Structure 1
Amino acid sequence: MNTDIENLFKDKVIGHPAGLFVIFFTEMWERFSFYGMRILLVIFLTAPLIGDNPGWGWTSENALSLIGTYGSLLYLTPIVGGWIADKFTGYRLAVVIGCFIMMLGHLSMAFETSFSFYAGLALLIIGTGFFKPNMTSMISEMYKGKEAKKDGAYTIYYMGVNAGAFFGMMLCGYFGESEDWGWSYGFGLAGIFMLLGLIQFWLAKGLFGSIGAKPSKVHEVELPQNINEESPTINKEEKANIKLNPFTTLDKVLMILSAMGGLLFLFSDPLLKIGEINLLPFKEVGGITIFALELVAIIGLIAIVMFFRKTLSEFENIYKPLHLRIAAVVLLGILVYISFFTSFFISVYDHFIYLLSSPEASLSGQYFIVIISLYIFLYLAFSRMSRYNPMVKARMVAVTVFALFTVIFFAAFEQALGSMTLFARDYTERALTGNAATIFKIVDLILTVVPLAIITWVLYLLFKKTYNKIPYSNIVLALTFAFLWCVVFYKINTEFSKEATEVKASWFGILNSFFIITLAPLFSKWWESKYNPSAAMKYGIGLVLLGAGFGVLVFGTLGIPQGAEKASVSMIFLILAYLFHTMGELCISPVGLSYLSKLVPGRMIGFMFGIWYLAIAIGQKSAGTMGGMIDEITKEYSLSTFFLMFTLIPIGFGLLSVVLNPVLKKLMHGVK
């Protein structure tokens, strides 16, 4: 029996150990800082150089290129940060290090100089690497032997995540966009709450005993969405199978080459667009070479279809031939689609005929490198899969398909902090007068005060249980809340003193967190009922809902003429889009890592966990690259055409997931 765990459970708040709520508030302040800064980033970078609240005057393409790289690296550094915590620092110290580095990053950005801005982003990326994987690892360690409580623990934890995101975007966005305050105050407010969160967590370390203090002798990975399952066990057959398939020298070389190519692209893309610094200065290749690359993609992806068919045929006793035909035809359709989409992704104007006929057709070095890196990675992934026994191979194929859907989901969903925020600023009617202004102020008041009052009550419960054990931490936490209430009252009083009001562009970002908090219990009931859909159906429903949200924006922007830089679309379209997007997220969020832990052999979880984060990172960068097309597509076609792209792609892949549901269920071989 672990004495520290038993001691933690002696002091309970709402049925859970008080230490969970220390983590809750630490995560809340970190998310407050992260999303408060993130929602301002694209607005600040693209704001005009001259004005009442001047920004840097970047194009949306340049701004979203940087933001895409930033978002990708946020999902790559935790792979390293988790390893460092496991081997050297322990979870708790890693969290403290991460908080401190992130606090420096936020405060650095408040100075608004080029050096401090880029240094701030770098510090935030590094700090997130230490922080992100280790908070959930601490919860995992706290609840060893208490698995029945994990469901509620992670629910509480994610409420902290969304509460922090909600207030961060609301308040940092309000002060950052305000002409009376400015960007420095928005970024600085994020840094202040990160500092207070760090102090509160550090002063509460005595409450945890040895929890998170020492690196585990055996590396374990706790997947936060996997809240109802114990860590997978490995039977003798799987152990033998894994031992027969170690990483060869060629595998390691290919991994390094693929990783180097991907990182080169991540850094070279914004450097080339923003600073005209070319890390890959070789001459651009011509149209024939691009066509050859796409031809290789088609041939290679057809080979993947054959791999799928071979994998399925190994279970020919349980698969119907119809499933084989459906899988082959649909996957071949995907591959051809992806080939055409790759051409569109590189440039709106590059088509196959143009590639073959025009000597001016070209592909820059950075895109050439990333495509080659992708080929190498796909070869590595499928060559390794082919070495495993049929059951493991089939399950890994299912994971690969879900990873593809994850890339598509994040490429579209992350428009919320990019092109959708620009749409809110430039194309949404945000100036309200009369009754409309009064109604909005009342709604905003309720949305702000009610959640904050509930969280303050939780603070009071924690204070009652732990005052004698961690008094200084509680005092800091109380002062933090007092400061937060002062900021909230200032905002409310300022807005109610005006006859008219202008909704901040950043305000719309809070809708995702609000809808998650209100709708999550309903979706949870759905998943617990007998109508709980399969993994593929959840992905399908989620992607279709995501596409439907963009479909609302397509409808709302039909009246905006080609090339328009400003418009006044009703905000109801944006609100409905966020509603659909959040419902889509709630369908997909419980699927990914949870099913990963069930489908992959235990000793491969750490590696596949990294691969899954890589898929999200690719989605993040794709979101930035595709979102950066908003000005170009609006100028050449229309804004509705831009959103139509994000409507058709997710819906197409969502329907594909539904069609593949029978095949994927068989590939998962009984995993539910």
Structure 2
Amino acid sequence: MTKTPAAEFASDSPAPVPPTGGPSSPAPEQKGFFGHPRGLATLFFTEMWERFSFYGMRALLILFMTATAEKGGLGFSGEKAGAIYGLYGAGVYLTAMPGGWLADRILGQRRAVLFGGCIIALGHFSMALPGTFFFFLGLLLIVLGTGLLKPNISAMVGGLYPEGGARRDAGFSIFYMGINIGAFTAPIVVGLLGERVNWHVGFGAAGVGMVFGVIQYLLGGKHLGEVGKKARSADLRPEAPGQLEKSGGSRMAGFTVVGVLVGLLVVLQLLGVVDLTSAVGLARAGGFIIVTLALAFFAYQFTAGGLDATEKRRLAVIGVFFIASTLFWAGFEQAGSSLNLFARDATDRVVFGWEVPASTLQAVNALFIIALAPVFAWMWVRLNKQGREPSSPAKFSLGLVLMGAGFAVMVVASLAAAGGHKVSPAWLVLTYLLHTLGELSLSPVGLSTVTKLAPQRVVGQMMGVWFMSMSLGNLIAGQLAGLLGTNPTPIFGAVAAVAIGAGLLLAIAVRPLRRMMGGVH
């Protein structure tokens, strides 16, 4: 799961959120944390510890599932473990939308973040207990808790800056540095404990990190003012004539779509097309549901959405970006699965006589993000001033090519590792560098471009569809990891070829796509 500001915000906030407390609410303290409101420190450290728990557990997840029982693992096959990993990653994105809805309508952001953090901690502590029941219960709790916490804590950061502007952007930049600090330290600390002491100790350490975050959040709550305290249900309640009927009609349409999907899955199960009793079957069914929902949304908007010609062309561009985003995350999210397994099985990790845990290499991406994100931000601004900044399609193309290039490096590494040879970790480090460059080229563009291209009356729904591309990418990444086997070269080669090929096709289509975007850069 990416740690760039735009990608994290995309997963955090389905739509722009107005200041929570309303115009008459007391503003939070305006100075005290690098010249920013004191409340930013509260949210900074809460998110840092949440990401510490998340990325720490993520670094161990597939290693634990595929480790033999003699080594304390679950002994799952690669296919089953990959499917579970993909379902978990997809679930984290999909629950962000209902989590935001619950905060808006019922809980308020402040309580949603608190409840989410507590549920996440319970999930990690559940995984610290032996047994598959507690393992799956823990994963479910973490998914549900993350869905409550993630979309609302970023919205609260925005609520600290009712004036908006550049100061708000700077606040988010500081906030996302906390994300990357947590993502960098977690694989080192949690990974070391999990691989060298006991898997369950590692999972427990991730839970302790989340507890620190919850405690810090409670102690620092006084600095948040009225931000996030109340649900916005009163603001969202239909008032104009016909709005209530329209809202009811939308809910009925949603229930109809869900009913049709359930019926289709039952038919597919009876026909033997999918097996909903297995992890692999559930992952494939999840992919089927996401694709069906996305296609239904685009089809409805084109045929009955009341769009003019310009809006339809822009929506078509979003469809192209949806496919590109899915392909990118299908490759990128293998960092915690197939590349993690390659680090364990085929990488020489001995440094000065000590074998570095495989999970430690998961910290490399966050380190590169910390180092390179400011460089990219400066570079885009400079190129923009010179009138040479690449367009959004060009950045998407570059991101796909760089991600594919990273897997091309892994093809060479896997060939060198053939026959049981151990290769240098430099191969993985180079791959993570290329993936980070690709992430910084593509990820920050996604949310910004979609919000500009989508018709304003459906921008929130469009964000939900955009999250589906990330969920689908996670599901595919898990499926690919399950196919790795003893010879990863064909999988790495296929991913490299598809990503680079898609990136080049997108590069060819840059000019027509820019024309279809109708002036949006």
Report the TM-score range of the alignment, normalised by the length of the smaller protein. Answer: 0.7 to 0.9
Match of 1:528 in 2: 381
Match of 1:555 in 2: 412
- 1:546 equivalent to 2:403? Answer yes
1:401 pairs, out of 309, 320, 323, with 320
1:17 pairs, out of 37, 42, 55, with 37
Match of 2:490 in 1: 641
1:567 pairs, out of 399, 415, 421, with 421
- Give the alignment of 1:458-473 within 5 angstroms: none
- 1:8 equivalent to 2:38? Answer no
> SS of 1:630's equivalent?
coil
Match of 2:198 in 1: 182
Q: Do the aligned partners of residues 72 and 605 (structure 1) sit closer, same or farther apart at CA in structure 2, a change above 3 Å counting?
A: same
Distance 1:368 1:206 in 2: 45
* Contact 2:59–2:362 (Cα < 8 Å) also in 1: yes
2:295 pairs, out of 378, 382, 397, with 378
- 1:390 equivalent to 2:293? Answer no
- Give the alignment of 1:66-81 within 5 angstroms: 66-81=84-99
Match of 1:289 in 2: none
Equivalent AA in structure 2 for residue 577 of structure 1: T
- Give the alignment of 1:581-660 within 5 angstroms: 581-631=435-485, 634=486, 638-660=487-509
* Contact 1:31–1:161 (Cα < 8 Å) also in 2: yes
Q: Do the aligned partners of residues 140 and 575 (structure 1) sit closer, same or farther apart at CA in structure 2, a change above 3 Å counting?
A: same
Count of aligned positions = 481
Q: Do the aligned partners of residues 107 and 569 (structure 1) sit closer, same or farther apart at CA in structure 2, a change above 3 Å counting?
A: same
Equivalent AA in structure 1 for residue 506 of structure 2: S
Q: Do the aligned partners of residues 218 and 653 (structure 1) sit closer, same or farther apart at CA in structure 2, a change above 3 Å counting?
A: farther
TM-score, scaled to structure 2: 0.86
* Contact 1:174–1:504 (Cα < 8 Å) also in 2: yes
CA apart distance, 1:61:
0.9
Deviation readout 1:594-644 (Å, 9 max, x if unpaired): 11111122231211111111111111111101121001xx4xxx4222210
- 1:199 equivalent to 2:215? Answer yes
2:128 pairs, out of 105, 110, 115, with 110
Runs of 4 or more consecutive aligned structure 1 residues displaced over 6 Å after TM superposition:
243-250, 363-366
2:142 pairs, out of 117, 121, 124, with 124
Equivalent AA in structure 2 for residue 414 of structure 1: E
* Contact 1:32–1:168 (Cα < 8 Å) also in 2: yes
CA apart distance, 1:403:
1.1
- Give the alignment of 1:108-257 within 5 angstroms: 108-178=126-196, 181-216=197-232, 217-218=234-235, 252=254, 255-257=257-259
* Contact 1:254–1:377 (Cα < 8 Å) also in 2: no
Q: Do the aligned partners of residues 89 and 629 (structure 1) sit closer, same or farther apart at CA in structure 2, a change above 3 Å counting?
A: same
Deviation readout 1:417-444 (Å, 9 max, x if unpaired): 0000000000111123xxxx2xxxxxxx
Q: Do the aligned partners of residues 364 and 163 (structure 1) sit closer, same or farther apart at CA in structure 2, a change above 3 Å counting?
A: closer
- Give the alignment of 1:349-428 within 5 angstroms: 371=288, 374=291, 377-387=294-304, 388-428=307-347
CA apart distance, 1:63:
0.6
Q: Do the aligned partners of residues 405 and 251 (structure 1) sit closer, same or farther apart at CA in structure 2, a change above 3 Å counting?
A: farther
Distance 2:263 2:403 in 1: 31
CA apart distance, 1:112:
2.2
- Give the alignment of 1:27-106 within 5 angstroms: 27-50=47-70, 53-106=71-124
Q: Do the aligned partners of residues 370 and 519 (structure 1) sit closer, same or farther apart at CA in structure 2, a change above 3 Å counting?
A: closer
> SS of 2:416's equivalent?
coil
Distance 2:289 2:105 in 1: 33
Deviation readout 1:255-313 (Å, 9 max, x if unpaired): 32565479x69xxxxxxxxxxxxx96424369xxxxxxxxxxxxxxxxxxxxxxxxxxx
Structure 2 regions of 5+ residues with no counterpart? 1-21, 238-244, 275-279
Distance 2:289 2:229 in 1: 42
Distance 2:285 2:66 in 1: 28
Q: Do the aligned partners of residues 520 and 212 (structure 1) sit closer, same or farther apart at CA in structure 2, a change above 3 Å counting?
A: same
TM-score, scaled to structure 1: 0.67
Q: Do the aligned partners of residues 131 and 65 (structure 1) sit closer, same or farther apart at CA in structure 2, a change above 3 Å counting?
A: same
Larger relative CO (CA 8 A, sep 6+): 1 or 2? 2
Distance 2:117 2:509 in 1: 43
**Percent identical residues:** 38
- Give the alignment of 1:430-509 within 5 angstroms: 430-432=349-351, 437=352, 500-509=353-362
CA apart distance, 1:593:
0.9
Equivalent AA in structure 2 for residue 624 of structure 1: G
* Contact 2:95–2:147 (Cα < 8 Å) also in 1: yes
Deviation readout 1:519-547 (Å, 9 max, x if unpaired): 11111111112332111011111110001
Q: Do the aligned partners of residues 245 and 666 (structure 1) sit closer, same or farther apart at CA in structure 2, a change above 3 Å counting?
A: farther
Q: Do the aligned partners of residues 7 and 49 (structure 1) sit closer, same or farther apart at CA in structure 2, a change above 3 Å counting?
A: closer
Equivalent AA in structure 1 for residue 321 of structure 2: F
Deviation readout 1:60-89 (Å, 9 max, x if unpaired): 111111111111111111110100100111
Structure 1 or 2, whichever has the larger Rg, is 1
CA apart distance, 1:210:
0.9
CA apart distance, 1:136:
1.0
Distance 1:87 1:619 in 2: 30
> SS of 1:569's equivalent?
coil
Q: Do the aligned partners of residues 559 and 132 (structure 1) sit closer, same or farther apart at CA in structure 2, a change above 3 Å counting?
A: same
Distance 1:423 1:506 in 2: 11
Between stretches 372-381 and 11-20, larger displacement belongs to 372-381
CA apart distance, 1:252:
3.9
Deviation readout 1:534-584 (Å, 9 max, x if unpaired): 1101111111000111111111222344xx5x4301111111000000110
Equivalent AA in structure 1 for residue 497 of structure 2: L
> SS of 2:74's equivalent?
coil
* Contact 1:280–1:366 (Cα < 8 Å) also in 2: no
Deviation readout 1:15-59 (Å, 9 max, x if unpaired): 211211211100000000001011101111111221xx4211111
Distance 1:188 1:541 in 2: 40
Distance 1:108 1:599 in 2: 43
Distance 1:365 1:89 in 2: 31
> SS of 1:8's equivalent?
coil
Distance 2:112 2:247 in 1: 33
Match of 1:272 in 2: none
> SS of 2:193's equivalent?
helix
Distance 1:427 1:215 in 2: 51
* Contact 1:255–1:380 (Cα < 8 Å) also in 2: no
Distance 1:367 1:27 in 2: 32
Deviation readout 1:404-462 (Å, 9 max, x if unpaired): 11110111000000000000000111123xxxx2xxxxxxxxxxxxxxxxxxxxxxxxx
Distance 2:83 2:315 in 1: 32
CA apart distance, 1:248:
7.2
- 1:518 equivalent to 2:367? Answer no
Structure 1 regions of 5+ residues with no counterpart? 221-242, 266-278, 287-362, 438-499
Alpha-carbon RMSD across the aligned residues, in angstroms, is 2.8
> SS of 1:590's equivalent?
helix
* Contact 2:480–2:491 (Cα < 8 Å) also in 1: no
